[in-house]
Amino acid sequence: MAGISAIDKAGLAIGRTIARSTNLGMIKNSDKKFFLDKERAIGAATVISILLKDGIGCAMYVTQSLNNKKIPEKKRKFVSALDLTNGVLMIAAQIGMFFAMRRYSGPLFNKMFSKSFDAVAKSNMLARLRMWGTKARKVNPDLPLVRTLESSKEFEKVKDIGSGLFEFVANTAAATIIGKRVIVPLIATPAASRVEKWMNKHMNSSETKEPTMTGNIVKSSETEASKVNATANWNSSTNLLDKIRQDQIK
């Protein structure tokens, strides 16, 4: 029981901290924006989320890959170069698609679903609702009137629901599947080869060049030489663990 109580207490403490955080200026500011224009605020949140999450994620992946000794050195730069190009292109693709969808999905929806939602369809639907309402009131006079302005508002809401679903499906098909997973990797991979070449040129310039994806291939004898050089470098290492390893080798 004591354990449960401690968990409960911890949960309450976290919950209270979260609750208190709603008084922060940053959140109050965000609240105001969501209240005044929800769609615009969601849009801004999406863009910020992409920039922050994918931006930081990309930076972390690149740094970690570059410094990950478990990844073969021959492949390390290409892996991190791909992380970089993939990350940058992904951010660009997502933000681009987000704005493109905002701009084009509405007109596309209106074109594809005109039979249901154009001005004629709306006028017919409003007439139909009024007629159904009148018929219903003949059966039950206590029912409220079906009012044109309100029906019109409801019709627009249904259109918004349809349009929102269309935007989501179009976005999923075009951006999430095709854009982000087909086009981006297709461009990112050759771009990564170029970045890798750049890395080889500008980073660790003293190191021997390794075969790169752009064809910067050096003779294998040079690679062998680099291994010897590398071994020689370890001899001067100050790392105790390395010294023990070297002793073991000897």
Partner 1 sequence: MKIDSVNSTYQPNSGLKRKNQNFTGMSAMQREIMNAIPHRKAIEGMKSLEWLKGEIGGILLTALGTGAVAPIFIGFNPFVKAPKNATTEQKEEIKNTKLYTAMRQPISAGLAILFQASVQKYIDKGLDKVFHDSRMSELAGLTHDMQEFESIYAIEAKVKDQVTKAGLKKPSLIKSWFSKEAKKQRKEYSEAFEAGVDAINDAKINELTKGLKETGKIKIGKRHLDSATFTQVINKQIDEYIKDAKALKKTHEQIASYVERAELLVKNKDHLTEIFKEVPVEETYATTDEKVLKPLYKKTETILKDLVRKEPKDSPVQVILKEILDLPEDLRADKVQRTLQRIDRINEMCGEQGFTADRYQKALRNRNNILDDKIDKLIRAKVKDPSKLNENTVHKVISKVADICGVKDGNVAHDILRDTSTFGAKVDKLKDKVYKDVVKGYKDLIDKHALSMGQFTKIAVGVLITLPITCTALNWVYPRFMDIFFPSLSGAKKNNKESDNPQTRAVQMTGGEK
Residue 208 CB partners (closer than 8 Å, separation 6+): 218, 222, 223, 225, 226, 229
CB of 101 to partner 1, least distance (A): 13
Residue 100 or 180 with smaller CB distance to partner 1: 180
Residue 20 or 202 with smaller CB distance to partner 1: 20
Residue 14 or 103 with smaller CB distance to partner 1: 14
DSSP notation for 56-125? HHHHHHHHHHHT-TTS-HHHHHHHHHHHHHHHHHHHHHHHHHHHHHHHHHHHHHHHHTHHHHSHHHHHHH
Residue 138 or 202 with smaller CB distance to partner 1: 138
Give yes or no for a contact between 89 and 191, defined as CB atoms under 8 angstroms apart: yes
CB of 52 to partner 1, least distance (A): 5
Q: How far apart are CA 204 and CA 210, in angstroms?
A: 12
CB of 88 to partner 1, least distance (A): 15
Residue 4 or 228 with smaller CB distance to partner 1: 228
DSSP notation for 200-244? HHHSSTTSPP---TTS----HHHHHHHHHHHHHHHHT---HHHHH
Q: What is the largest CA-CA distance in the chain?
A: 102
CB of 3 to partner 1, least distance (A): 20
Distance of CA 98 to the CA centre of its chain: 11
Residue 1 or 26 with smaller CB distance to partner 1: 26
